[in-house]
Structures are given as structure tokens and as C-alpha cells.
Structure 1
């Protein structure tokens, strides 16, 4: 059995990160009989300086990309359709607000130590894109923890402290210095970088080729 390590650099506020992982997951399921995958998530913040009250996402995106709100609405609608085909809930992607994701990244690190890192990441994608909840709100984060069957009291201790803060900042700096400027970014076997939300067929081919080269 071939072993493949996949390090995923992503932000909870990035819809293509959710789509990209769902597509990768389909590819991994197709390859599962012959391949063993190890997944590790790493922090990236699209809006690291965000503080205070969030802004409605459509005008925020329009300003960021120099496009109209209508164009941004159409773009988000296309993502909703893609997500639905993948079984992802993006129902309220257009109603969400911008928010800071630093504490959410800290909880992903904590959940990783409980063996639930991917599950935590997916829960955060669900509440942000599917329910338009504020993933900087500690009560929202603790509800995600409880839904996964993890200990909300221990998670609250993390959030009320600076645990994992240095780890998150170090990761962000490491990948920025390595040249990662957009997410999702996937590093395969600590050697190959694949950027963007690739289709499952492309993933299958890429992973097979990488495995053959590494053999």
C-alpha cells in the first residue's frame, strides 16, 4: 500500500477550500484500496487584520476584487451549485459576514490532538457557509466542539488562553515565506505543491503519478 502525506494550507473563510477538500476526498475514496492517506491542516488567514463587526460579504468581496456586487452574487451562486453537487451546505454563503478566523484555527489545532482535525474543519465550513454564523464568536465555536462530541469546557480553556496562538502564527509565516499566497494549497509528500480546488479526476491522476515517482 502506498502512503501519501497531504498537508493542506487553508482558511475557514475560503469557500474554495471546502470545495477543494471535498473533491480531494472523492479522489481519495477512489484510490483508497491501494493508498493510505494522512491529512494535516495548516492555518492561513485571508483577512488577518479583521477586527470588530463583520461586513456583509458581497460588498466586501466587490471592493476587494474591484467587481460589482451582482458579479460577486453570481460567483457565489456558482459556488453554491458546485457545493451542492459535492454534498456541501453553502445555503447561506451570500448572507455571511466577514470575520476573523484566528481563534477558529486555534481550535482546529486543539481538535487535531483529539484526532478530529478534519471533522472540526468541516464543521466550521458548515456553520460559516451553510448557516452564515460568525466563526469568530466563541459560542459558535463551542457549539461546533459539542456537535463533534469533544469537550466544550476544555475548548473554552483554549479560547480563553493563548494556547496554540504561537503555533498558528508560526504556520502562517512559514507558508507565506514558502510562497503560498492563495488557498487552498496542497503539499504532497512534503515535495509537490498543488494549488486550487482541483477536480477529482485531476487529483486521482496527480496522486497516482506522485506515488509512482516516490516508489
Structure 2
């Protein structure tokens, strides 16, 4: 089954949703071909980023207490899915345009999922700045990808137009938030649905396809 996932690497619900989907695929025994697609939660985020607590309070109108409670909830949910979320007063939201460009390059090498997972780990557990080109290059190299080519991809921005076009394509199809999971190019599931709901949807799509 082809599964398209529109997501951003600084979206906690994207990694949560992906892990839930993984468990659902294992539980149902359905084989899937995952295709990641770019989405920027904050395309206008400056290079220096923004403190996560301030960002959540400003963007969603949350209080400091609500923001803290949300992070605590994420930590608890993540623990059940083997995701080690790390949040503290230094946590920042980051610009991810370069990250999406590097992932597009990795996709041409069949390694996009590997880099996607490495960047989730870098941002949420290692608390690294995924807008920093050296961080991105280091993560690519850790996967055995070519350092010089990764550096060149970011320096010459050769995939900038392609990534922008892909982002606009999914927005034009009505995607306003992530994760957006499309099963079999027909059925859209928005958000982290939970293992049971993902399992039920997978079974339904498989039965209709058959």
C-alpha cells in the first residue's frame, strides 16, 4: 500500500503519528511504501528561531501553564512510542526549509526516510538546531551520505524551487496542518490518529482495494 505522509521535522505529532502508523502496520501485517512530503509549520521563521514556549503561547494563545502541560503530555505519549522528547527552557522552534531540501536530495538516493528519522531524533531528543547547515550535513554523513554533495546541495539551493513547488502542491490539495497521512492515494487521515484508528483505516483501504 502506498502511504503518503505530509509533515515537518519540528512537528511532534508527526513523529508520534508515524510511530503509531508503524505499530498499526505491524499489527495488521500490511506492507507499505512510505513517501514523505514537505510542509513547513513556520515558513517565515527567522534563522535564529523562536523560544518554543513563547512560540506556542503566541501562535495558539496558550498560557505558560498550558504550554508546559502540553509539553508534559507529549513526553508521556512519546514514552509509550519509544520517543524520548526533550524539552527545556532552551528549546526553540526552527526554520526547516534547508532540512526539507536535504531530505529531497536524500530521496533521490533512496534514503529520505533514514534522514527524516535522523532529523526527528536530532531535533526532539538531541535538541539540535535543524536549521543549522552543519547539523544537517553531520546527520547526512552519519548515514553514510556524501559530505561534499550534502554541503553543495545546501549551498547552491538546487532543490529550493522543487521543495517550494511540492509544498504548494499539498496546500493546494487542502492540507493545512500536519501530519497528513494519505492511504492508497485516496483516504486522508489528519493528525496522530492512534494505533487502533490507523489499523482500522489500513484494513478498510486494503479490503476496498482487494
Q: How big is the shift at 1:47? A: 0.4
In structure 1, the residue corresponding to 2:95 is in which secondary structure?
Answer: coil
1:131 aligns with: 126
Over 4 Å off, 4+ runs: none
In structure 2, the residue corresponding to 1:36 is in which secondary structure?
Answer: coil
2:83 aligns with: 88
The number of residues matched between the two structures is 210
Q: Which moved more, 1:9-18 or 1:162-171?
A: 162-171
Alpha-carbon distance in structure 1 between the residues aligned to 2:87 and 2:108: 30
Counterparts of 1:197-212 in structure 2, within 5 Å, are: 197-212=192-207
Q: How big is the shift at 1:151? A: 1.4
Matched, 1:171 2:166: yes
Alpha-carbon distance in structure 2 between the residues aligned to 1:56 and 1:170: 29
Matched, 1:6 2:36: no
Post-superposition CA distance 1:178-206 (Å, at most 9, x none): 11111000111111111110111111111
2:22 aligns with: 25
Quick check: 2:71–2:87 contact (8 Å CA) kept in 1? no
Matched, 1:101 2:96: yes
Structure 2 length as normaliser, TM-score?
0.96
Alignment match of 1:72 (pick from 62, 67, 70): 67
Structure 1 length as normaliser, TM-score?
0.93
Alpha-carbon distance in structure 1 between the residues aligned to 2:50 and 2:209: 46
User: Which consecutive residues of structure 1, in runs of 5 or more, have no partner in the other structure?
Assistant: none
2:142 aligns with: 147
Post-superposition CA distance 1:12-69 (Å, at most 9, x none): 111000100011011112233xx32110000000100112312210011101111112
Q: How big is the shift at 1:94? A: 6.0
> In angstroms, what is the RMSD of aligned CA positions?
1.3
User: Which consecutive residues of structure 2, in runs of 5 or more, have no partner in the other structure?
Assistant: none
Quick check: 1:96–1:129 contact (8 Å CA) kept in 2? no
